[in-house]
Amino acid sequence: MSTEGIIESAAEHEPQALTQEITALVEPTIEVVPAHEPHHPVAPAIVIPNLDDSSLYIHRELSQLQFNIRVLEQALDESYPLLERLKFLLIFSSNLDEFFEIRVAGLKKQITFAREQAGADGLQPHQALARISELVHGHVDRQYAILNDILLPELEKHQVRFIRRRNWTAKLKAWVRRYFRDEIAPIITPIGLDPTHPFPLLVNKSLNFIVELEGIDAFGRDSGLAIIPAPRLLPRIIKVPEDVGGPGDNYVFLSSMIHAHADDLFQGMKVKGCYQFRLTRNADLALDSEDVEDLARALRGELFSRRYGDAVRLEVADTCPKHLSDYLLKQFNLSETELYQVNGPVNLTRLFSITGLDSHPELQYAPFTPAIPKLLQNSENIFNVISKQDILLLHPFESFTPVVDLLRQAAKDPHVLAVRQTLYRSGANSEIVDALVDAARNGKEVTAVIELRARFDEESNLQLASRLQAAGAVVIYGVVGFKTHAKMMLILRREAGEIVRYAHLGTGNYHAGNARLYTDYSLLTSDDALCEDVGKLFSQLIGMGKTLRMKKLLHAPFTLKKGMLDMIARETQFAAEGKPAHIIAKFNSLTDPKIIRALYKASQTGVKIDLVVRGMCCLRPGVAGVSHNIQVRSIIGRFLEHTRVFYFLNGGDEQMFLSSADWMERNLDKRVETCFPVEGKKLILRVKKELEGYLTDNTHSWLLQPDGRYVRSTPTGNQNARNVQAALLEKLSNPVLSVR
């Protein structure tokens, strides 16, 4: 998610703005902008009529990389508890892993097969990779500097210590030796390298050590090199007993133990050096669903292959000699630009295990209890409540429990006939799946549309599919070539001799754990037209037939993109007529060129456009004569922003939509998605006020600049600090009923 400068010529020279931008990103400083700066500058005279000009677009992979950089910056924010700052630093590592496994791997694959394709920004894959390498190297260095120079010393003040080998006491050394002998050595399998023991095939992201040896073994071999793969079942950090390490929480890295006792693994040989390394591989599944008869069976085979894809990145300890790192690069067919030398553990994500220390609640976020609307608190029958009014929930500030309760009641209710549900990421053992299993066992007609290809959740989804099938549910794997990303549930219930529909529609997944970490909307409704639309969409997914006409629901890949473009065009027309026109949109990513061009045209015409885009954004705001009426901000905070909300002034007859889709080509053209209206003045006003809270945040918001950089907002003068997530947490902790 880096910020590239304006691209004048994708194939030739790079503008000065880009160089300045990269320099700014690598520097360990945070630029801030006063929150009182003009929200929408006056339109300048210069106009760029060609909206296809590549200089108006930001490369999507570089934009995604910059989101990761914003995440890393949170580790420096002293307003967060200390362990939460560490967590942000580790999330940066986790995000980078996926970025290399999918995004970088995809760019490398284009080059390998001579299929380089430039997007709207005009940047070729090899150019993007060069910029990615420069940015990532700089920020990985920053990450380890933040860890070693700031976070670890601060943790030590709170008696949370990672004891380095140079600081081991005699008592600790003796304890480590016993632990190594009893718990590590019996499991580890060192591999000497020689003609009969070639370089081993190493698992993606596994911890390994390259060992330089001196001497001749029992068989007369003297290759001089060995590899030690660290078994995944071994903990990467080991807690030291208090009687050995002293008071507090003391830890030793597994890598330190192996370094200290590598000699024990090569009896009679001298270990000249032992250095940790970690390989990242292409983890995108090469599955052509058009050519398989059984998607589940084919996917099981591909999941094994994911562990051994082509290499894309090599991380080594910065103490590793050049001749050894060069040797590893040659083994993995990587270039020197794909080598990352780090000052610390190569597998930082394993530190997540200590971010929830029971002994230090003061170093973590204060716990909270999500609210439940008052009308649902004392209701024994949730169907009665929903039949009278729509209920809107904003997670995690409001509880996900009503969604689970709706399904639980449906499973037991003798009047419920059928349940249909989409599942994208839910977990095989979730409460949602438990309720679906109960419903099937209780004789309900249960149909689950499971998206097996939800990236990195494929194995879990295969397990839940098997579990539901065993309970008697009908399991459908969606539509070939189109991921089912829609979040919807439909319940059919017989009431007074008629079948009545109830539906849940959401912007997030049916995962109770994520509902405590992600911001998402849930709509519980019995609206006849909307529920009928949901039923039609399930029919399209489960059976076959022509596209069915919907009354209220927009759905990809059929009507959602056109509907959004039509509403943007309508605001453009209002502005052209001299009428007020305003668009507010909040989502995760903006990459679709058609949507971006429509927003540029709207801005040129005078539409005020406020975008809250958490991650990738390929649009450049504030460009003279093109996007001067567009402001883009990103909110990074305690919760992962995940809601998709679209507001249109519509000549005063305001319209509000919630959606499972971002404004990306994959969502709008290649997925099954839903976009549904929020109706009734009270609910529209509520969501609008919540959106306005995001637009006025001046502590955790980052403003996208015309040159692609993000700068952080900060209160100025006597302005009060505004944190939208904290405000929502405080406001919604007291249950307030949201009704139409």
Hey, which residues are catalytic here? 485
Burial class (CB in 10 A: 0-12, 13-18, 19+), 398: buried
Distance CA 604, CA 581 (A): 12
Place of tokens 């499991």: 187
Three-state secondary-structure class, residue 46: coil
Structure tokens at 438: 């109960």
The amino acid that residue 733 corresponds to is S
Which three-class secondary structure string do you get for 2-21?
Answer: CCCCCCCCCCCCCCHHHHHH
Residue 390: DSSP 8-state: -
Residue 678's DSSP bridge partners are 656
> Computed over its alpha carbons, how large is the radius of gyration of the chain?
28
Place of tokens 């094994």: 304
Residue 630's DSSP bridge partners are 609
Residue 289: DSSP 8-state: G
Cβ neighbours of residue 157 closer than 8 Å, sequence gap 6 or more:
none
Nearest to 143 by CA among 206, 70, 84, 93: 93
Structure tokens at 328: 């590893």
* No. of helices (H) and no. of strands (E), the chain: 22, 28
Distance CA 178, CA 436 (A): 49
Distance CA 397, CA 373 (A): 11
Nearest to 615 by CA among 590, 597, 596, 595: 590
Cβ neighbours of residue 110 closer than 8 Å, sequence gap 6 or more:
116, 117, 125
Contact between residue 3 and residue 66 where contact means Cβ atoms under 8 Å apart: yes
Residue 339: DSSP 8-state: E
Nearest to 629 by CA among 582, 698, 588: 582
Contact between residue 515 and residue 398 where contact means Cβ atoms under 8 Å apart: no
Distance CA 236, CA 566 (A): 53
Residue 674's DSSP bridge partners are 555
Cβ neighbours of residue 86 closer than 8 Å, sequence gap 6 or more:
75, 147, 151, 155, 351, 355
Contact between residue 227 and residue 191 where contact means Cβ atoms under 8 Å apart: yes
Three-state secondary-structure class, residue 63: helix
Three-state secondary-structure class, residue 609: strand
Structure tokens at 46: 């210069």
Distance CA 600, CA 625 (A): 9
Count of all residues that appear for the chain in the document? 740
The amino acid that residue 318 corresponds to is D
How many other CB atoms are found less than 10 A from the CB of residue 325? 20
Contact between residue 609 and residue 663 where contact means Cβ atoms under 8 Å apart: no
Burial letters 67-98, b for 16+ CB under 10 A, else e? bbbbbbbbbbbeebbbbbbbbbbbbbbebbbb
The bridge status of strand 445-450 relative to strand 498-506 is unpaired
Handedness of CA 625, 628, 630, 634 (dihedral sign): positive
Contact between residue 395 and residue 506 where contact means Cβ atoms under 8 Å apart: no
